Amino acid sequence: MTEAEPKNLVEMFLERVGRLGDRPALRFKRDGAWREITWREWEREVKLLAFGLLKLGLKHGDTVSIASNNRPEWVHFDLAVQMAGGILVSVYPSLTPEEVRFIHDDARVRFAVVEDASQLAKLLSVIDSLPQVGGIVLVDGRSDDPRVMSYADFRETGAGGNDAVLEKKIEAIGPGDVATIIYTSGTTGLPKGVMLTHDNVLFNCEAVLKVFEVRPDDSAISYLPLSHAYERVGGFYVAVYAGIVMNFAESLDRMSANLLEVRPTLLCAVPRVIEKAYAAIQAKVASGGVVSRALFGWAVAVGRQTSASRLEGRPLPPMLSLKHRLARRLVYSRIAERFGGRLRFIAVAGAPMSKSIAEFFHALDLLVLEGWGMTECAAPATLNTLQKARFGTVGLPLPGVELKIAEDGEILMKGRSVFAGYFRNPEATAETIRDGWLHTGDIGEIDPDGMLRITDRKKDLIITSGGKNIAPQKIENLLIADPYIAQAVVIGDERHFLTALISPSMDAVARFAKEKGLGPAAGERATAATHPQVIAFIRERVELANRQLAKFETIKEFRLLPCELTQETGELTPTLKLKRKVVKEKYKDLIEQMYGGPP
C-alpha cells in the first residue's frame, strides 16, 4: 500500500468529500419525489451519528448492528460506526427473531439500529436474552420503550461534537482492523460471522476500478440487500471509491419504475433478477402479434450473428452493420428503455448465471458481465470486463488475486481481499484458510486464457448411487433457459437417476392453456401443477433440455411445484440463492413419489 492511499474506509470517504464537496452523492425517493444528498451533507450526517455513538459509550472495536432495507440512513450508520472506531454488523431485515437473536448474541452487539416498528418488534421479542445490547435506535417512528431512541433524538445527541476527537478515532483505525462482520446466509447450517477488514474492502475497490472504467457522470442504483457483501462492496463501496452517485430504489417491487426514473448507467444484479427479466421479455413477445414476434425473432438473430464481433471489438461487415443499426432502432432500444435506456452493462454475481440467458441479452444489445466472489473475499474476485468477456465464464482474476484448482476441483484463492476469519470461530477459520489459500467451496476450472468457469458448489454436487458426480446447477441453468420454466431444483444424491422439482413460468403456461382451450384454471399455479396436459407439455420442454445432456445427466422424472420458491417462504436466501436442504425437506413427499415411494 502506498502512502498516498487511504489506510481505512473512513479516510477514503473523507477524501471523496473533500474532492467532490457539493456534488450529489446519494439520491432517494420520499413523498413521491427524488431528493439529493451532497457529499458534504453526507459527511455532516455521518459525523453527527458518530458523535452520538461515542456519547452512548461506543468503544474501539465494539459492534453495532443494523436491520434495515436499503436507504440513506443505512450507509450513514455504516460510515458513522467506523468513524467512531466500531464494527458494523449487518442483519437482513427478512430474518426470523431467532436468527436475529443468534447474530446479536454471537457478534456481541453493543448497540442496534432498526428501520421500523416491525424490525423493532422482532428485536424486542428476544432482547431479554441479549443483556449486552445497551441501546436501540429506531430510524422510522418513535417508541415508548426506554431502551429505544428515535433517529431524530439520536442525531441531537451528536450535536456539538468535537472534530478533534473523531480525527483521533479515525487515525487509530489501521488497515487490518475489522470494518464489518457479515453473516453468511446459512444455506447449510448456522451462519458464520465473516470479518472483513478495511484493507480487504479497499483492495477490492481499487482492483475493480483498475479493470472497469467508471466515468464521473456514471450513476448506480442500490436495490440488492446492503446486508450482503456483493451490494455492500461491489455496489456501494465501489461507487463511493469512484465518487459517483448512488440512487436508492424504493423496493424490489418498485425497481422497474425506479429504473425508468433514475436511468442508471451501471447495474448490479443477481441471476434470479436477470432470469425474471428474461421471462418478462419472452412473455411480452409471445403476447404480441405475428408481425411483432417475427420482428423480434429477426432482431435476435441479427444480434446473435454480431455478438462475437461486438465482444471482441471487431468491425461488422457493412450489410450486417446496417441490419444491426436497424434492429437497434426497432427492437433493442425498446428493451434498453425497460432498464432506463442508459445502461453500459449489467454486472451479475451471487450465483451461477445461465450462459444462454446471457447470450440472449447480448443478442438484444445488453451486455451482462458475470463475476464471481464470496463474502469471505469481500465479494468480487473475478470479473468479465468490457475489454474481455466470455459468456459461460466468470472472467479473469482481479489484479492481485491468485487462483488455482485443487485436485478435487475446488477453487482456491489468495490475495489481500481474503477475510480475517470467522468471528469467534477459529475452527471454521482454520478449515477455510489453509496455507494462506482460501478454500472457496466452489468447483471450477480455468480455461487456457485464464478465464474461470464455475461448475457448482462442492457441497451441492450430486453423487448418484452409481458413483457419477453431477453438477446440478449446470442442468438447472439449462432448464430455466426455457421460457416455460422459471425455477428448477435437480435431485439425485445417492439415487440411481436424476429428477427435478420445477416451478413453471406461469405467464407462459397461462398462454399455453388459453391456446389449447384448457380453461382459465389450467393457467393457475395450483391447478397447473397437476393438470395432465400442462404436465405433458412441460415434459416436452424437459426432453428438449435432456437432448443437450449426457445420458447420466438427463432428468428422468419431475414434479411441478404448487408454489413459487421465494425468500418469504424460506426456500431462497435474501440474495435469492437456493436453500436446497429446505426445498428437499419441504417437498420430500413429491421427491419420494418420483422415486417410486408412497403417493
What pLDDT digit, counting tens, does each position of 275-324 carry? 989 989 998 998 899 999 999 999 999 999 999 999 999 999 999 999 99
Residues 576, 418: Cα–Cα separation, whole Å:
24
3-state secondary structure 272-327: HHHHHHHHHHHHHHHCCCHHHHHHHHHHHHHHHHHHHHHHHCCCCCHHHHHHHHHH
Is the confidence at residue 2, as pLDDT, over 80? no
Q: Can you tell me the mean pLDDT for 339-356?
A: 92
pLDDT-derived band of residue 598, with 50, 70 and 90 as boundaries? low
Radius of gyration (Cα) for the chain, nearest Å?
25
The predicted pLDDT at position 465 comes to 83
Q: Can you tell me the mean pLDDT for 337-365?
A: 93
Please state, in angstroms and as integers, the Cα–Cα distance from residue 320 to each residue in 298, 299, 309, 323, following that order.
12, 11, 11, 5
The predicted pLDDT at position 53 comes to 97
Q: Do residues 82 and 181 lie in contact, with contact meaning Cβ atoms separated by under 8 Å?
A: no
DSSP string, 559-595: EE-SS---TTTTSB-TT--B-HHHHHHHTHHHHHHHT
Q: Can you tell me the mean pLDDT for 419-433?
A: 96
> Residues of the chain with pLDDT > 70: what percent?
98
Residues 333, 365: Cα–Cα separation, whole Å:
9
The predicted pLDDT at position 351 comes to 81
570: left (phi > 0), else alpha (psi -120 to 50), else beta? left
Q: What is the pLDDT of residues 380-395, one digit of tens each?
A: 999 999 999 999 999 9
Q: Do residues 172 and 85 lie in contact, with contact meaning Cβ atoms separated by under 8 Å?
A: yes
Q: Can you tell me the mean pLDDT for 401-407?
A: 97
DSSP string, 384-436: --SSS--TTS--EEPTT-EEEE-TTSEEEEESTTS--EETT-HHHHHHHEETT
E-state strands within 427-554: 433-434, 437-446, 452-457, 462-463, 469-470, 485-491, 498-504
> Residues of the chain with pLDDT > 90: what percent?
84
Go through the domains of the chain in sequence order and give each one's CATH number: 461-594 (3.30.300.30)
Contacts of 376 (CB under 8 A, 6+ apart): 194, 418, 419, 432, 438, 440
The predicted pLDDT at position 4 comes to 65
Residues 136, 66: Cα–Cα separation, whole Å:
10
Residue ranges of alpha helices (H) inside 28-187 are 39-56, 72-83, 97-106, 117-124, 151-157, 163-171
Q: Do residues 523 and 514 lie in contact, with contact meaning Cβ atoms separated by under 8 Å?
A: yes
Is the confidence at residue 520, as pLDDT, over 90? no
DSSP helix/strand/coil, 343: coil
Q: Can you tell me the mean pLDDT for 426-444?
A: 95
pLDDT-derived band of residue 1, with 50, 70 and 90 as boundaries? very low
Break the chain down into helix, strand, coil percent, rounded to 5. Answer: 45, 20, 35
The predicted pLDDT at position 599 comes to 53
